[in-house]
Amino acid sequence: MKKSVYSLVLSDDVVAAVDRAAYQNGLSRSAMINQILAEYVSYTTPEQRMREIFAQAERLLSGGVFQSLVQPSDSMMSLRSALAYKYNPNVRYSVELYPNRPGQGELRVSLRSQNSALILYLGQFFRLWAKIEQAYIGGADCVIEDGKYARRLTLPVRLSESEQGAVLAGYIRAMERGLGAFFNSLEDARQAAAAVERAYQDYLKQYPAI
């Protein structure tokens, strides 16, 4: 959404109240005024849409293996879960949505570890996941390197923000389940591949591909 600079004459007391509200909501003065005006005229801003998508995703993922992290902005969401491997390292799932491109964004999955074996296994999982997506939906725009994974997302714009949040949560949950199943079957590559594929199949049975 295009933004421009406007000159407004406002009461000092009103501005002080806006500043307090902005501080409480973690927003700048301009963002707070923009939100107030949008709500008054019943206009849904891109920031509000992204907040609703992320709020729904977090609601569906909370209370289980995922822990929500502090969000740096309205356009980002971060969670982590413990991987059942030796010292239970944390896997971080970060999602960024693009304000000016509805439904478009990127998922990044990473792990802070110097364990070469763990990084190797993680890379194997990501390549397997990409291969499965290739077979079922014709592939996805993703990059895999050094045990990290980045993938473009396209949430169906025909769905409501709440429904888009559910689709996003479903995909992240499927990947987390697939990752857990993969590490539970490290000694049997065929069994590991089948378990990861089942996790992806279960996702597609309930949600559209993104």
> What confidence tens digit (pLDDT) does each residue in 165-200 have?
999 999 999 999 999 999 999 999 999 999 999 999
- The continuous run of DSSP H or E covering 10 comes out as none
| Residue 2 within a domain | no
> What confidence tens digit (pLDDT) does each residue in 85-141 have?
888 899 999 999 998 888 899 999 998 888 899 999 999 999 999 999 999 999 899
| Residue 134 within a domain | yes
pLDDT given at position 115: 87
| Residue 5 within a domain | no
> What confidence tens digit (pLDDT) does each residue in 27-56 have?
788 888 888 887 877 666 778 889 999 999
Same domain, 25 and 105: no
pLDDT given at position 32: 85
- With cut-offs at 50, 70 and 90, classify the pLDDT of residue 204: very high
CATH number for 79 = 3.30.1460
For residue 37, the enclosing domain spans 10-43
| Residue 201 within a domain | yes
Burial tier of 134 (Cβ tally within 10 Å: 0-12, 13-18, 19+): exposed
Instruction: Look at the block and give the residue holding tokens 């990044």.
Output: 108
| Residue 122 within a domain | yes
Dihedral over Cα of 69, 89, 146, 120: its sign? negative
pLDDT given at position 109: 97
| Spatial separation of the C-alpha atoms in residues 75 and 53, rounded to whole Å | 10
- The answer on pLDDT for 9 being more than 80 is yes
- With cut-offs at 50, 70 and 90, classify the pLDDT of residue 20: very high
pLDDT given at position 42: 64
Record the pTM: 0.82
Same domain, 96 and 169: yes
Domain count within the chain: 2
pLDDT given at position 1: 58
pLDDT given at position 2: 67
pLDDT given at position 108: 97
| Residue 4 within a domain | no
